[in-house]
Amino acid sequence: MAAAAPWPGLWAAGTGAAAAALLFLLLLLLLLLLSRWRRRRAGGAGRVCVAVLGDLGRSPRMQYHALSLARHGRQVALLGYLQTRPHRDVLRCQNIRLVPVAELSGLRVGPKLLQYVLKVLVQSVQLLYTLLRIDQPSYILLQNPPGLPSIAVAWVAGLWWGSKLIIDWHNYGYTIMSLSHGRSHPLVLTAKWYEKLFGRLSDYNLCVTDAMKKDLWVNFKIKAVTLYDKPASHFKETPLDLQHSLFMKLAKDYEPFKPRAVSPSADRSAFTERDGSSTVRKPRGRPALLISSTSWTEDEDFSVLLRALEDYERFIEEGAKLPALVCVITGKGPLKDYYNGLIQKLHFRHIQICTPWLEAEDYPLLLGSADLGVCLHKSSSGLDLPMKVVDMFGCCLPVCAIHFECLHELVKHNENGLIFRDSQELAKQLKMLFLDFPSLEGKLPSFREKLRVSQQLRWDQSWDHTVLPLLGSKE
């Protein structure tokens, strides 16, 4: 039974004409398809388009897809915005061609609703134009979200090329929109109806958790295969000499990485030093390094971490044997300036906070050098898992993660990390984990050792087992 539009009110708000124009465009394209269908040349063998209507540099899973396809001899068109430089393995791969989509600007005219409709229309034309200019692919592998308008556009392009459409469901776009607008907002209801309708037009579907796989079937009648996020091979523990090089590099720009005391040795950071024999070691009394990464969006409340750090500072003032703390929060996003403003109002004596943006190659090195990771990702749908924790586990970095519905599929409380529900619980966990730091006994080293011996699957193994059978042998 076809899904029905969730409400009639939006058309009365002035978008009926825009929707009619979009429908007319789709009908015109379908007519063109019918006229072309009989004479469409066979082709696309061995070619795949991997597409995301977002920043490629901040879409690691889609980069991993491209690299895995290229490893199996496919020619890959990796399509998206080039706001952030992709990983160097992607840039160096001869089988991967970057296909940039131009970013939109200058649409901030009129009411917000009209701006959004215009944005969707322009993105539709823009994305379709880009998809029809690439070499004919056998498959289009599309990230969702964002799915509006990319799912419908990718489906139309697939009809044109005779390509199969694969949707990789990372989350639901409508649940992300609901964080800003509420679940009953007309735009949110439209996005849900849209994802439900056009999601069924795909040939194959991937998703990131078993909980999402079940939800897609129960609520959308979409069959999906679970492909868990797994760390790539470059996420691993960082050797001491590379840690020192990274810390010295970061010390040039960020005060928390500089040594606390004046030292006759110029070859020293806050966490490492190189002696006369060129041996790198971690000095006694060094601070602990806590790291969290974020997209600075509504689904991560960093005030939880800031309140926990205030409690941690109080524990030290009350005499607890805890180390000084350097808290590094990496990433880009719309709420970064807001939280930086909150951070500047804090006056810590034993804690330093910095919010750098790291190059793609430096991020895994920093994870592999840290003492503890903190994850504040709270899924908008309750059905996706934080990839940052996957990467931390790949680096054998213990994690404290905030609770949400399906987190247990990744973080096993008291086995490979800890789960907390509020700032007070996080503060108590930080106190317990860092007591008598850097002792080789206690929960923190125990978690790290368990991660070392777990021998978890890496991305390449998981991808070959799950996705490669969907594609069959190379044509």
Question: Given pLDDT bands bounded at 50, 70 and 90, which one contains residue 295?
Answer: confident
Q: Mind listing the pLDDT tens digit for each residue in 365-409?
A: 999 999 999 999 887 888 888 889 999 999 999 999 999 888 888
List pLDDT tens digits, range 199-209.
999 999 999 99
Q: How confident is the model at residue 9 (pLDDT cuts 50, 70, 90)?
A: very low
| CA–CA separation, 65 and 116 (whole Å) | 30
Say how far apart CA 463 and CA 467 lie, in whole Å: 5
Q: Three-state SS for 171?
A: coil
pLDDT tens, residue by residue, 413-438: 998 899 999 999 999 999 999 998 98
Q: Quickly count: other Cβ atoms within 10 Å of residue 96's Cβ.
A: 21
CA atoms within 13 A on the CB side of 449: 7
List beta partners, residue 76. Answer: 48, 96
Q: How many helices (H) and strands (E) does the chain have?
A: 18, 15
Alpha carbon distance 405, 403 (integer Å): 7
pLDDT above 90 (res 213): yes
| Cβ atoms of 244 and 269 closer than 8 Å | yes
Q: How far apart are CA 102 and CA 360, in angstroms?
A: 22
CB atoms within 10 A of CB 260: 14
Encoding tokens for residue 370? 């840290």
The percent helix, strand, coil of the chain (3-state, each to 5) is: 45, 15, 40
Adjacent-strand bridge partners of 326: 289, 352
CA distance between the termini of the chain: 36
Asked if the bond preceding 438 is cis, omega within 30° of 0, the reply is yes
> How high does pLDDT run on average in the chain?
85
What pLDDT sits at residue 38?
A: 39
Residue with tokens 């134009």: 129
Q: Output the DSSP codes for 326-385.
A: EEEEE---TTHHHHHHHHHT---SSEEEE-----TTHHHHHHTT-SEEEE-B--SSS---
